[in-house]
Amino acid sequence: MSVDYYRRQVGAHQQKLAKFQVDKARLAAKAGEAFRKMQAASSAAGKAKISSTIVSKLREAERYSSEYAKNQTELGKLEIKIADEQKRLITTQGQFDKAQAQEQKKQDADQKKREAEIKKSQTAQKRADLDHEHRMREVGAGLARHEVLHQQTARQMQKLRALPKRITVLFMASDPGVNKLALDLEVRTIGEKIRASEHRDAIDFQSRWAVRPGDILQAINELRPTVVHFSGHGTSADALVLQDDQGRPKHVPKEAIVSAIAFGSDSVKLVFFNTCFSFNQAQAAVQNVNAAIGMNQAIGDQAARIFSSEFYSGIGFGHSLEKAFRQAKAALMMEDAAQANIPELHLKAGVTEEEQTLVRPREI
């Protein structure tokens, strides 16, 4: 069966379950009403003085009792139907997931085949280009400009080839105190965006939690990251709030953080301060690294999460830092325009667009 068939079957089971739930609510309401009326009639019979009234109320109570019992019986049958339908839904959902996985596997195989064909075509094209270039050199001085352009292209290709095949993003989280942030949700959202990007295999996303000052250099030396990301709290006094050995807030001044980055590793190209009031830290960091991102004031938890996840999505699609930053700001503007101008990108003087690209395109 096809994926669409199982998808329709899952939808049909879900619709049937929804109808059963509506019927269940209706029967429960009827049963509740019958029970209330039965109690009211029984209470009235107990208070009545006239025998005819007592008999009438007792009959009324018996009638509602019968109706209540009937509703309870129907509810029991409906519960069985719901349970059976849920079993069928689970079975069909499993079949749907299996069919979907098989279809994805086939698509991946087809994609791999297309990529192999493209690579073969590119190899043939490169060989043809080299032959053409050799013939054109014999034409003479009129092709001098073509040679210059070719050399420029070769230099650009060499710069792209110099990029690492795989970069590491070091996410360092610290959230001491009572004003807790949803940092785990930020990590999950960033991870999802990276996995959904074109060059997801080129990004190794590593996280460190409950970060203390001594953890920073250890993690940098251990992982040699391309990107160092701080997420948590910042202060208006340019301090980054980490924690001490007892889990209490530890304010680390801007100068200490910048020094740690400067002497940590020459692999670091970007420092991302996803903390409040971190623009001065970002400005100081670009004395030693190509780029830094900071916040010029306090930023909301959700806004910080939206911006950071969209930024790493842009990196995963092979965009430069500036383009990824602009895309992240656009995404934040669509969600919360009031906070769209809080993030700032700072670049080291003289940094080129090639130096802003962190992920090597697949064809290079």
In a domain, 236, yes or no: yes
In a domain, 115, yes or no: no
Number of domains, the chain: 3
Q: Is residue 150's pLDDT more than 60? A: no
Question: Mean pLDDT throughout 291-298?
Answer: 97
DSSP 268: -
In a domain, 363, yes or no: no
| pLDDT tens digits for range 96-141 | 889 889 888 998 899 999 989 999 988 889 888 888 888 888 776 6
| pLDDT tens digits for range 2-38 | 888 888 988 998 999 899 899 889 989 988 998 999 9
Closest CA to 33 of 64, 76, 69: 64
For residues 131 and 71, state if they share a domain: no
Query: From CA 53, how far away is CA 113, in angstroms rounded?
Result: 88
Own/partner long-range contacts of 278-283 (Cβ < 8 Å, ≥24 apart): 278/230, 278/234, 278/238, 278/240, 279/344, 279/346, 280/238, 280/254, 281/234, 281/238, 281/240, 281/254, 281/257, 282/344, 282/346, 283/346
In a domain, 329, yes or no: yes
CA dihedral 291, 310, 178, 248 (to 10 degrees): -30
In a domain, 361, yes or no: no
Tokens linked to 172: 């360092």
Q: Which domain holds residue 77?
A: 3-107
Q: Is residue 153's pLDDT more than 50? A: no
For residues 212 and 279, state if they share a domain: yes
For residues 264 and 329, state if they share a domain: yes
For residues 276 and 290, state if they share a domain: yes
The rounded Cα 88 to chain-centroid distance in angstroms is: 32
For residues 211 and 144, state if they share a domain: no
For residues 173 and 250, state if they share a domain: yes
Q: pLDDT tier at 57 (50, 70, 90 boundaries)?
A: confident
For residues 27 and 83, state if they share a domain: yes
In a domain, 214, yes or no: yes
Tokens linked to 77: 């049958």
In a domain, 112, yes or no: no
In a domain, 273, yes or no: yes
Domain stop point among 144, 160, 176: 160
List the CATH number of the domain containing 240: 3.40.50.1460
For residues 255 and 312, state if they share a domain: yes
For residues 316 and 350, state if they share a domain: yes
For residues 15 and 126, state if they share a domain: no
| pLDDT tens digits for range 313-356 | 999 999 999 999 999 999 999 999 999 999 999 999 999 888 89
For residues 221 and 208, state if they share a domain: yes
For residues 321 and 192, state if they share a domain: yes
Query: By the 8 A CB rule, do 60 and 41 touch?
Result: yes
Tokens linked to 215: 């953890």
Query: By the 8 A CB rule, do 215 and 230 touch?
Result: no
Tokens linked to 79: 């519960």
